[in-house]
Amino acid sequence: MRRALVLGAALALGSCSPGERGQGLYIQRFFGECTSDYGTATDVAKAEGECGIITTLINAFERAHPEARVSQNVVAWPGYSQLTAQMAARQPPDLVTMHSGVIPDYAGKGLLEPVEPYLAAAGLSPGIFTPAARQGVTWKGRMYGLPWDTHGGLWHINLGLFRKAGLVGADGNPILPRSPEELLSQGRQFRERTGKPYLIQSLVGDPAGAARILYTYMMTQGAPVFSDPKHIRLDTPEGRRVAELFRDVTREGIGTSNMDTPAAIAAFMNGEGGVYPTGTWMIGQFETEEKTRGRPLFQSYSVQPFPQLYGRNLMFVSGHAWVVPKRARTPAERQAIADYFRFMAARNGDWARTGHLPSVQAVIDGRQFLSLPHRRDIAVVARIGRALPDGVLRQNAIEGLVGEEMAAAITGQKPIAKALSDADRRVNEFLDEVQ
């Protein structure tokens, strides 16, 4: 009996839940939680890392716009299970971080607001953004987010080991292959002279990495990955060429084959290989290694876009954006969103210190950005970067399928023709069913 009363009390108490939101700007993001380090600090210039910089930026916005009444929600990356659930329960946030590849899914269901009105109210012309960034948030001709950054694949290079392998040019820059044959020959040369693998590949549990390789190198051969938004074509001579090249690299031991992402990061930081192909998001961490005496990467780090092994100068990119889920809003709330856009666009350069590329063209061309280490080498990504065609839905899920098959092909667990045709079949069957 006593217990029943306790339960009743607990339930009654529990019914006093936060319930409906009061007015105010509800911002939801990933990138981690670091209030113990940054608390309510607003000094963006002193902040380090994705978490530090975004926390201080939002704190600074709060300080500058108290009338917006900001509440912040941090979610585990990438946060889409939660966001979908929130939208299904009709309690979405006001602003949320979203990958550009995912925007068509939510926009296509009418769950996002087009942002041109907010940009206009903020005095931002769509033309201020880089082509890659702008394409990333555009769907069926309308923009559905404030482009925040562009990120794509990069080769992170251990200069010291490259020097030892004789692959550093007179200008101090690493020599990169310009064709598949050169990749193999330079890889062999590297291994002979240093005894370590040329490529540190994270093929375990990293489908995004494997998909990135396939997409990029098919694009550079001029092969459209998607013949139309509902059909993928990977099992083509171009696709097989890429798979064969990397399968050979792996089979000869020029590239590692057993590592997942944490293992690969650790290996690169410990000087266990020449190149770690990953993306812009690791620049910040590796820069820290570069500056730390006694570490293998000390003063021995360079970063370059994926080498152009085939004809065209293109690469596959993605990006982050701030999107606005659809719900009824008061004029004050709309104004707050516009203020947020204006504030963040003006500070896009600060975000670039994470390693991601800015979305604002003027920032990329500007001195503040280019004076950051290594940025000159990679600024071109904003120009040559391409996302998948607009109309392609469920890009995340597709990347998972494609990456799984590609990794199987590269490691030799599946014959290449079967892996690519399986990928085609699974993706096309899936896209057929998509509503």
Partner 1 sequence: MSGTGIRRDPGLAFVGPFLLIYCLVLILPMLHGLWLSLHVIDIWGDGRFAGLANYARLVADPVFGQSLVNTFVVTLMVVPILTVIALALALALNRASRGAAVLRGIFFSSAVLSVTIVTLIWRFILAPDAGLLGEVAKAIGAEPVPFLSSPGLALWALAITTIWWSIGLPMLLFVAGLQQVPADLYEAAALDRASRWRTFVSITLPSLKRTTILVVMLQTAAQLQLFGQAQLLTAGGPSGASRTVVLFMNEVAFGRWELGYAQAAAEVLFVIILGVTLAQYWLTGRAGEGEGGR
Partner 2 sequence: MAADAVAARTRLPLPALIGVLVGAAIMLTPLVWTILLSIKANAALVGNSSAALSPPWTLQNYAAIFGNGQTMRWLVNSLIVSTGTTIGVLILTSLAGYGFARLDFPGRRPLFLFVLMGLAIPGQAVILSQHQLFAWANLHNSYPGLILPGLTTSFGVFFMTQYMRAIPRELDEAALLDGASHWRIFTRIILPLTRPAQSTLAVFTFLGSWNDYWWPLISATRSEMYTLTVGLAAAQMNYAQTSGLGYLMAQAVFASLPIFIVYLIFQKQIIAAMAGTALK
Q: Which residues bind partner 2 (CB under 8 A)?
A: 1, 3-4, 6-7, 10-11, 13-15, 17-19, 30-37, 39, 49-51, 72-77, 81-82, 84-86, 88-91, 261-262, 265-267, 269-270, 281-282, 285
d(CA 409, CA 86): 38
The least CB distance from residue 46 to partner 2, in Å, is 18
Q: Given the structure tokens 């009654």, which residue do they identify? A: 12
Partner from partner 1, partner 2, none binding residue 258, C-beta < 5-8 Å depending on class: partner 1
Cα-only R_g, the chain: 23
The least CB distance from residue 72 to partner 1, in Å, is 23
174 neighbors 168 (Cβ within 8 angstroms): yes
Helix, strand, coil % (nearest 5) of the chain?
Answer: 50, 15, 35
Partner from partner 2, partner 1, none binding residue 404, C-beta < 5-8 Å depending on class: partner 1
The least CB distance from residue 158 to partner 1, in Å, is 17
Q: Which is nearer to partner 2, 291 or 418 (CB)?
A: 291
Partner from partner 2, partner 1, none binding residue 105, C-beta < 5-8 Å depending on class: partner 1
Structure tokens at 127: 């033309």
The least CB distance from residue 408 to partner 1, in Å, is 4
Q: Which is nearer to partner 2, 39 or 415 (CB)?
A: 39
Q: Which is nearer to partner 1, 88 or 120 (CB)?
A: 88
Partner from partner 2, partner 1, none binding residue 330, C-beta < 5-8 Å depending on class: none
Q: Which is nearer to partner 1, 289 or 377 (CB)?
A: 289
Of 200, 345, 217, 360, the closest CA to residue 282 belongs to 200
The least CB distance from residue 373 to partner 2, in Å, is 19
d(CA 73, CA 86): 12
d(CA 332, CA 36): 32
- 194 DSSP 8-state letter: H
Partner from partner 2, partner 1, none binding residue 74, C-beta < 5-8 Å depending on class: partner 2
Structure tokens at 140: 């069926």
d(CA 96, CA 112): 10
The least CB distance from residue 413 to partner 1, in Å, is 6
Binding site for partner 1 (CB under 8 A): 80-81, 84, 88, 105, 109, 111, 203-205, 257-260, 262-263, 266-267, 394, 396-397, 400, 404-405, 407-408, 411, 413-414, 426, 430, 433-435
Q: Which is nearer to partner 1, 57 or 210 (CB)?
A: 210
Q: Which is nearer to partner 1, 165 or 407 (CB)?
A: 407
Structure tokens at 92: 């979405």
Partner from partner 1, partner 2, none binding residue 73, C-beta < 5-8 Å depending on class: partner 2
The least CB distance from residue 140 to partner 2, in Å, is 28
Partner from partner 2, partner 1, none binding residue 115, C-beta < 5-8 Å depending on class: none
Q: How far is CA 106 from the centre of its chain?
A: 18
Q: Which is nearer to partner 1, 20 or 433 (CB)?
A: 433
Strand pairing report for 357-358 and 275-279:
unpaired
Of 132, 57, 142, the closest CA to residue 95 belongs to 57
Q: Give 147's Cβ-side CA count (13 Å radius).
A: 33
Partner from partner 2, partner 1, none binding residue 397, C-beta < 5-8 Å depending on class: partner 1
Q: 80-114 burial, b for 16+ CB within 10 Å, e for fewer?
A: bebbeebbeeeebbbbbbbbbbbbbbbbbeebbbb
The least CB distance from residue 204 to partner 1, in Å, is 4
Q: Which is nearer to partner 2, 50 or 422 (CB)?
A: 50
The least CB distance from residue 83 to partner 2, in Å, is 8
Partner from partner 2, partner 1, none binding residue 35, C-beta < 5-8 Å depending on class: partner 2
Q: Which H/E stretch holds residue 214?
A: helix 207-220
Partner from partner 2, partner 1, none binding residue 19, C-beta < 5-8 Å depending on class: partner 2
The least CB distance from residue 92 to partner 2, in Å, is 9
d(CA 83, CA 106): 10
Q: Give 335's Cβ-side CA count (13 Å radius).
A: 9
d(CA 433, CA 435): 6
d(CA 248, CA 203): 14
